[in-house]
Amino acid sequence: MRAIDALTQLRHTPYAVEAQRLIQTKLSDPDPYVRIFALRHLNAMNPQLGAQEAERLLFDPNEEVRSEASLILKYDKGVQP
């Protein structure tokens, strides 16, 4: 959780764009847990971009990734899971 808090603060720095780009590269990692971790962090830094990527990951072959993407979209729309 501390990492997400740190990334939330990072979004207000000049390094935010580069950090987001690096995190986005991990959204296509073969390891589903890396994709989940990257999605959570991207969403913490930029909720709009996180929601866009979550929509794409709703079609991921891994059920856990799809579930995480669904949760992010539910939170994005203000619906509690």
Tens of pLDDT, residues 3-48? 556 666 666 777 878 888 889 999 999 999 999 999 999 998 889 9
Better-scored residue on pLDDT, 76 or 79: 76
Contact 72, 51 (CB under 8 A): yes
The pLDDT of residue 42: 92
The pLDDT of residue 81: 44
| Calpha distance 14→67 (Å, rounded) | 32
Residue 80 pLDDT greater than 60, yes or no: no
Helix axes 2-10, 32-45, angle to 10 degrees: 50
